[in-house]
Structure 1
Amino acid sequence: MPTSSDTDDRLTALEIKASYSEDLLDQLNLTIYRQQQQIDRLMREVDELRRRVPEGGSDALTSARDEIPPHY
């Protein structure tokens, strides 16, 4: 039969585990929050870049690379 001391030790161990779990959950929530902020910022940057590139801009970006060098 478990003694009161054994029960107290088990309860203390469970409280410690619960405390660590709460801390981990808080850290994970903060990480997710920061990542969502970064995703939102990157999406705004992509939208801004899309607005800056003229229609058919992909051709303009690759044409400089496809040009024949002047020595040919």
Structure 2
Amino acid sequence: MTDRLERAEEELAHLRRTVDDLSEVVARQSREIDLLTRRVLLLMERAAEAEAERSGSVPLADQRPPHW
């Protein structure tokens, strides 16, 4: 019985460590996604500004559809 309990405790400790490790990975990925999202938005703004400067008009992506 004691051996079985020890194995269960070892398994539980292993699973807790795995959960902690995965939690760290998810937190890091969340930070990276936030950073990348901000960068993409910045790049989209820059691209829209560059397009507006080239064409002298409002970029198509920023124009309202005709049915509005």
- TM-score tier (shorter): 0.7 to 0.9
1:34 alignment counterpart? 35
Residue 52 of structure 1: how far off its partner (Å): 0.9
After superposing on structure 2, the runs of 4+ consecutive aligned residues of structure 1 that deviate more than 6 Å are: none
| TM-score normalised over the length of structure 2 | 0.73
| Unaligned residue ranges in structure 1 (runs of 5+) | 56-72
User: RCO (CA 8 Å, sep 6+): is it higher in 1 or 2?
Assistant: 2
**What residue identity is the alignment partner of 1:3?**
R
| TM-score normalised over the length of structure 1 | 0.70
Residue 53 of structure 1: how far off its partner (Å): 0.9
Residue 16 of structure 1: how far off its partner (Å): 0.1
